[in-house]
Structure 1
Amino acid sequence: MTNTPTSNAVAQDFVAFAVQSQVLRFGEFKTKAGRLSPYFFNAGLFDDGAKLGRLAEFYARRLLASGLEFDMLFGPAYKGITLAAAVSIELARLGRNVPFAYNRKEAKDHGEGGTLVGAPVKGRVLIIDDVISAGTSVRESIDMITAAGATPCGVTIALDRQEKATAGGQDAEESAVQQVEQRYKLPVVSIAALADLLHYLETQADPALASFHPAVLTYRQRYGV
């Protein structure tokens, strides 16, 4: 989904917030694909009430601006659970009250049983997660949502890395986000993308932060889509 001028402003605010929260860090990090990345985004470090509340605000603002129609949120275990809960609270605060559900990694054989927890999964279901790396979490979520008789209607993430996915040790032509969009015909709404991070670094007054721009740009030129 293409960024609008409004979402670009939101994206820049989000990148600044992620850097200030040390959720977005710079240096040398090895990715799951074995690449050496000059930056690392770890949404698990939105780890207190203030940071989580602000993160939920960014998701909610981006979703409402996107115009995407959905009836409920679904958070895949584990990070998606917290995100679904937090964003549903923020959406309700903004006047858009929607239910949410999530899954367990292991089925429960007592009490309510099963793998799904929360509101009944029905209608148009929006999957919420932090990033899309290999698309595995999205595929599993789609399977659970359709098995419940509901319709997956999209995915929302915090950061689109905009880099080539890998398959069998080979680089694909598309990113993991593009593969999800093409394979499942679902829109993916991200708060920010690698292009927004590059713009943030390029326009930095802080020399220490600006110094990371060349490395991130080189990384995108090599692995970007």
Structure 2
Amino acid sequence: MPAASNPSNNSVSQSNSSVSILEDYQKNFLDLAMESNALRFSKSSDEDFKLKSGRLSPYFFNLGLFSTGKLLSNLATSYSISIITNSRDQKLPEFDIIFGPAYKGIPLCAIVCAKLAEIGGSKFEKISYSFNRKEKKDHGEGGSIVGASLKGKRILIIDDVMTAGTAINEAFEIIKAEGGEVVGTIIALDRQEIVNSESGMSATQLVSERYSIPVISIVNLGNIIKYLDGKLTGDEKQRVEHYRATYGA
């Protein structure tokens, strides 16, 4: 297996989206998220969104609403530029395969693999993609993996958001069983909120620490608050700020 590069401080969740000035691709991503209703804000506390964690959140992100060809193309561009930027800055090791956990990760790994080949230059032209089936196939090619073989390969996991890290943990087990090595994870949005009061850490921080890999994102909650400052009502902004003060990592 090729040796994975070892970027400095890779045990800490990191992203170029943590800088104070947003890049154009991040602004474009947030604009499209708002236009497509993928990123929504409740009008009052009575309309807050219930998360898997049971928390009531004043904002909600549903990547599934990037459902047209134009939106998917722009989404793939945002993921790809984030990957290219973090690779250039040595915050992301070299990888061979983009792995998308079923189900939301399935279209993501394919469209981003194609977009990287289109805009990333020769370095990314031979990147492959793979995803898992929820149930193993017992006919034809069989098995639970669709796409490139993971054996002996360096893997970048792609997903939408990370709430508790459950899907990522499951993906690690699948990849390990197939003989691959996870070298990083990329998500669209880092909510930057603690998983529980005991750890005081976010899901991205916990995953990064547990597996000693970088976890990067296109944007995070801090980016949302900064960029949409003039687009949110005073009440919306206040409730998001209160939520961050309560659950922020």
TM-score by length of 1: 0.92
Partner of 1:76: 101
Paired residues of 1:73 and 1:127 also in contact (CA < 8 A): yes
Residues 171 and 38 from structure 1, CA distance in 2 versus in 1: closer, same or farther, beyond 3 angstroms?
Answer: farther
Partner of 2:59: 39
Alignment pair present for 1:8 and 2:28: no
Counterpart pick for 1:89 among 114, 119, 142? 114
Give the distance between the partners of 2:218 and 2:66, measured in 1 at CA. Answer: 15
Q: Which moved more, 1:2-11 or 1:70-79?
A: 2-11
Q: Which consecutive segments of 4 or more residues in structure 1 shift more than 6 A?
A: none
Alignment pair present for 1:186 and 2:213: yes
Counterpart pick for 1:57 among 71, 77, 94? 77
Q: Aligned runs of 1:1-225 on 2, under 5 Å? A: 1-3=14-16, 5=19, 8-9=22-23, 10-27=25-42, 28-67=48-87, 68=92, 69-94=94-119, 95=121, 96-97=124-125, 98-121=127-150, 122-166=152-196, 172-202=199-229, 204=230, 206=231, 209=233, 211-225=235-249
Q: Which structure 1 segments of 5+ residues have no match?
A: none
Identity %: 45
More strand by share: 1
Give the distance between the partners of 1:51 and 1:31, measured in 2 at CA. Answer: 24
**Aligned partner of 1:103: which letter?**
N
The number of aligned residues is 219
Paired residues of 1:164 and 1:175 also in contact (CA < 8 A): yes
Paired residues of 1:101 and 1:116 also in contact (CA < 8 A): yes
